[in-house]
Chain A
């Protein structure tokens, strides 16, 4: 929240009276706009702070490598492909997007990402493993400021299904809700070094289940807050 409040004044400042630059040709990965070229790639990381309600005295902020690709399909359609990699546990998502301009500066997209996560971790000498599926229907609205600053505001529903975990040989049958919660993101993209662009984002997740916490075998049926910080370099 403090970080968001810090960002807000920056947003006001961004809209200065500089020369306007058209969206075409600007590198973007989250900004909802029809693609001109075949591929767009971004690499970076996502750091998630896990709530004390489930981690207790250990305050984890777990980074995951974030590899994000867009593939143009046809017209206003493209595919969003994403990998969150931690080695011992990983998530891959894939989903179509349809994006369209709304005005000279605004645009939007709708999409649906299907994900699969899997992990295998030795916890205190006990081999645990798990996997599950996710679904993220999402809506993004973008606003293009001057000076090539792209702002994306995104809302997503979070759905979890097919979660299967095992501690040693003991199956852990947790009954997670299919409709697990929702997430809200604010993402800025702007030119960075050379011809690259940079992504800075904040994603607030409210969910009863976050795949990275599967080894904790929690049984909550209430939404907890998982803040995420997104940093990426658009190649």
Chain B
């Protein structure tokens, strides 16, 4: 009788302590979570402000003024824009230039596939001037 009473008392105490610890832990974690949320919100707000500042600093007007002051950039000349097709293909090997065949194909090298000869660059009216 006395023994079992002590046993039950011990169990109850242990459970009580465990319950308290769990509750304390949960409380602590919840506080931590809330702190993290606050931190996230603060960071998000900071990002928001920085984004606004970033786009303010990236105004085309300002960038243009900075470029004019510090760099040698000029608006792109559209004559300098080309297409990949305008690039000459790889030149035939140096030794083969002498006997260039007329059909537009470089001589084959020991049975390899024929290499196309570079197309001359197309000149526009403007570049010829």
A and B assemble together = no
